[in-house]
């Protein structure tokens, strides 16, 4: 693999899909394999939701959301914390644990439709991509990467799975972390989030026309990685 270290310079890969479809697993594997920079854009919406909550605003306060979103460049950081794990920091405080809850995912999907918030997050993401594309290439994890943020990305993948399968995975994941949320509650939260994400008027969750669509209900993580690397390799030739 050593000859592949710099092969991904200039490359942008967008991995889009709904909650708990396996985007993070695929993005981390691709970023590691091709030595690319990775940005999980879901953490931007989650961080905004968390900041609104801790600063005492209601989740749909568009003006506060826009104001905080515009300052993210000074406060927010997404970085590798070892062992192929990534942390989210606000002024160097590790907020990863706070933003990863299903509750914060739900709040994030409540602020995500606000145009001013989306504009600020999209601008932040584009700047990030611009900063790293030529140096390392970038893997962008999100919902509108292939359609809105990086419509010219050379590789676009949309991964999906049934709501039941995604809830089953999220349930196992939470149990492994010592949480006892019921499967029914998780399924209801995922369905609610899907409904908001797929139907919002700006940057809705939808596959780009030129994306490779993979249903991970049928394909395991290794299989998805295999399909994705075939796409990436084809883009090199
Ligand atoms: O991917 P993740 O579960 O972390 O995303 C949390 C929420 O943030 C999503 O359900 C969606 O509402 C929002 N989001 C978005 N656009 C993105 C990434 C996430 O609207 N690019």
Give the span between the Cα atoms of 114 and 123, in whole angstroms.
14
Give the distance, in angstroms, between the CA of residue 152 and the centroid of all CA atoms in the same chain.
18
Q: Using one digit for the tens of pLDDT, what is the confidence trace for 101-142? A: 888 998 999 999 999 999 999 999 999 999 999 999 999 999
Residue 204 contacts by C-beta under 8 Å, 6 or more apart in sequence? Answer: 143, 144, 197, 198
Give the residue, by CA position, lying nearest to ligand 1 atom 16: 143
Q: 45 CB under 6 A from ligand 1?
A: yes
pLDDT of 19 over the 60 cut: yes
* Tokens standing for residue 78: 């997404």
Cβ–ligand 1 contact at 144 (below 6 Å)? yes
* Token pair in block for residue 9: 């310079």
Answer yes or no: is the C-beta of 109 below 6 A from any ligand 1 atom.
yes
Q: Which two tokens stand for residue 199?
A: 């139907």
From the CB of 104, is ligand 1 less than 6 Å away? no
Question: Which residue puts its alpha carbon closest to atom 14 of ligand 1?
Answer: 42
Q: Are 230 and 223 in contact (CB under 8 A)?
A: no
Does any ligand 1 atom lie closer than 6 A to the CB of residue 41?
A: yes
**Cα separations in angstroms, 148 against 73, 96, 111:** 20, 26, 17
Is 221 a residue whose pLDDT tops 70?
yes
> pLDDT tens digit string along 131-181?
999 999 999 999 999 999 999 999 999 999 999 999 999 999 889 888 888
Cα(28) to centroid(ligand 1), Å:
17
Supply the pLDDT for residue 81.
Answer: 95
* Helix 102-111 × helix 42-54 angle, to 10°: 90
The three-state secondary structure class of 14 is strand
Residue 16 beta carbon below 6 angstroms from any ligand 1 atom: no
pLDDT category, 1, cuts 50, 70, 90?
very low
Percentage of the residues of the chain whose pLDDT score is greater than 70: 98
Q: What is the pTM of this model?
A: 0.95
Does 193 sit in the ligand 1 pocket, CB within 6 Å?
A: yes
The pLDDT tens digits of the residues spanning 61-96 come to: 999 999 999 999 999 999 999 999 999 999 999 999
Ligand 1 pocket residue status of 232, Cβ below 6 Å: no
Helix (H, G, I), strand (E, B) or coil at 34: helix
What pLDDT, on a 0 to 100 scale, did the predictor assign at position 6?
72
Give dist(CA 165, CA 19) in Å, integer. 11
pLDDT at 2 over 60: no
User: Closest Cα partner for 133 from 3, 29, 13, 4?
Assistant: 13
* Residue among 45, 52, 115, 191 whose CB has most ligand 1 atoms within 8 A, to mutate: 45
**Distance (Å, rounded) from C-alpha 208 to C-alpha 192?**
22
* Token pair recorded at residue 159: 């991964």
**Residue 37 · residue 139 · CB < 8 Å:** yes
The alpha carbon of 1 and the centre of ligand 1 are apart by a number of angstroms equal to: 33
- Does the structure show a pLDDT above 60 at 30? yes
Q: Whose C-alpha lies nearest to ligand 1, atom 10?
A: 109
Measured in degrees and rounded to the nearest 5, phi and psi for residue 39 equal -130, 125
């Amino acid at each position: 693999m050593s000859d592949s270290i710099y092969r991904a310079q200039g490359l942008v890969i967008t991995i889009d899909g709904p909650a708990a479809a396996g985007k993070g697993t695929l993005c981390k594997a691709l970023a590691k394999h091709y030595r690319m920079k990775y940005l999980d854009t879901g953490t931007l919406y989650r961080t905004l939701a968390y900041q609104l909550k801790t600063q005492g605003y209601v989740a749909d306060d568009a003006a506060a959301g826009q104001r905080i979103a515009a300052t993210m460049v000074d406060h927010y950081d997404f970085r590798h914390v070892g062992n192929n794990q990534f942390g989210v920091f606000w002024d160097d405080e590790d907020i990863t644990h706070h933003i990863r809850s299903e509750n914060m995912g739900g709040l994030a999907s409540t602020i995500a439709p606000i145009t001013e918030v989306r504009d600020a997050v999209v601008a932040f993401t584009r700047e990030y991509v611009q900063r790293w594309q030529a140096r390392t290439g970038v893997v962008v994890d999100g919902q509108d990467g292939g359609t809105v943020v990086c419509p010219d990305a050379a590789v676009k993948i949309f991964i999906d799975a049934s709501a039941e399968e995604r809830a089953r995975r999220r349930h196992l994941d939470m149990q492994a972390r010592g949480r006892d949320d019921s499967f029914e509650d998780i399924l209801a939260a995922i369905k609610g989030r899907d409904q908001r994400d797929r139907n919002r008027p700006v940057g809705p969750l939808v596959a780009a026309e030129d994306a490779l669509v993979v249903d991970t209900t049928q394909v395991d993580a290794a299989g998805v990685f295999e399909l994705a690397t075939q796409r990436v390799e084809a883009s090199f030739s």
